[in-house]
Amino acid sequence: MKTKIIIIEDDVVTAMNLKMSLEKLNYEVIAIADNYIQARSKIKIYEPDVALIDISLEEEKEGIEIATYIQTHNPMPFIYLTSHSGKDILDSAKKTEPYGYIVKPFEPKSLNATIEMAQYKFAEEQKLKSTYEEMKEDKSNLEKLLFSKTTQDANVPFAQGYHLNVSNCEVFYNDSILKLTKKENSFVRLLVAQMGSVVSFEQVISYVWEDNSATNNSVRTLVWRLRNKLPTDIIKNASGMGYTIENYTAS
């Protein structure tokens, strides 16, 4: 299936040259618009895959307004067409985080490469968004699992002498609060929610570091620091796969 493209350009000659070049490259140009109102209407009707937007239409910042509309209402990769725009316009354009720039006069080879890269970047972003939504769902399920383990006073006993208060996310040993960092508390919370199962490095990173900025070594450092704070050795390695925590055994 051909990639559907809308051209948003107020110079007729440039728009037609773009259309012919794109069709030679096996793209389908489904619409051409020369202002904000036209562009918005045709995007709704034709649902393009990619938008090529002249950064400086007749109204100075109209191209940027179209990009903003796309981000809010019809997410897709958009590429700015630019020649000698002023610094203010370029600074405003950067804030919309376009998927590429095509400098006029354009070359067909660079045109094709820019569109392909824009589509790839957009697809990767959508995957990340999907992963983030799944991660939020996983967190929700983990919280439900944790609450299912609570006693009447919102505590979850684990190991020997420990309990986690789910309401305020505080860890106790023999009824004394352990002074843990936010990440350390989150890690214990995750281990307790999945008590009896191995918690993988990936799960720790997604649950403890919300921006997924950590590495396996970050997790190891976190565990090392936490072990030094805990009165007893209750966190166990699981063959390089992750970690488990000792289950609660009533005396």
Give phi and psi for 227, each to the nearest 5: -60, -35
Claim to verify: residue 83 and residue 170 sit in the same structural domain: no
Q: How far apart are CA 152 and CA 62, in angstroms?
A: 60
Claim to verify: residue 22 and residue 95 sit in the same structural domain: yes
Number of structural domains (the chain) is 2
In a domain, 133, yes or no: no
Q: What is the pLDDT along the chain (251 residues), one digit of tens a residue?
A: 899 999 999 999 999 999 999 999 999 999 999 999 999 999 999 999 999 999 887 776 788 999 999 999 999 999 999 876 567 777 788 888 899 998 888 888 889 999 999 999 888 877 766 654 555 556 777 778 788 888 778 899 999 999 999 888 899 999 899 999 999 999 999 999 888 888 888 888 888 887 767 899 999 999 999 999 999 999 999 877 899 998 876 54
Q: What is the reported pLDDT for 151? A: 78
Q: How far apart are CA 184 and CA 190, in angstroms?
A: 10
Which one, of 169, 170, 160, 184, lies nearest residue 233 by Cα?
160
Claim to verify: residue 113 and residue 22 sit in the same structural domain: yes
CATH of the domain at 186: 1.10.10.10
Output the CA–CA distances (angstroms, integers) from residue 215 to 14, 26, 176, 202, 222, in the order listed: 48, 42, 32, 9, 11
Dihedral through CA 22, CA 75, CA 100, CA 113, nearest 10? -40
In a domain, 144, yes or no: no
The tokens for 61 are 């910042």
Q: What is the reported pLDDT for 84? A: 63
Claim to verify: residue 157 and residue 114 sit in the same structural domain: no
DSSP three-state, residue 225: helix
Claim to verify: residue 10 and residue 122 sit in the same structural domain: yes
Claim to verify: residue 165 and residue 222 sit in the same structural domain: yes
Claim to verify: residue 14 and residue 119 sit in the same structural domain: yes
Q: What is the reported pLDDT for 154? A: 87
Q: What is the reported pLDDT for 177? A: 94
Q: Are 186 and 207 in contact (CB under 8 A)?
A: yes
CATH of the domain at 22: 3.40.50.2300
Q: What is the reported pLDDT for 138? A: 67
Q: Are 104 and 82 in contact (CB under 8 A)?
A: yes
Beta bridge partner(s), residue 8: 33, 53
Beta strand pairing call for 101-103 and 78-82: parallel
Claim to verify: residue 121 and residue 232 sit in the same structural domain: no
Q: How far apart are CA 9 and CA 58, in angstroms?
A: 9
Q: What is the reported pLDDT for 127? A: 73
Claim to verify: residue 169 and residue 200 sit in the same structural domain: yes
The tokens for 21 are 């070049």
Q: How far apart are CA 203 and CA 219, in angstroms?
A: 10
Q: What is the reported pLDDT for 176? A: 94
Q: Determine the structural domain holding residue 198 and report its residue range.
A: 150-245
Which long-range CB contacts under 8 A does 91-99 form with residues at least 24 apart? 92/61, 92/64, 93/55, 93/63, 93/64, 93/67, 96/64, 96/67, 96/68, 96/71, 98/67
In a domain, 143, yes or no: no
Claim to verify: residue 27 and residue 121 sit in the same structural domain: yes
Claim to verify: residue 90 and residue 185 sit in the same structural domain: no
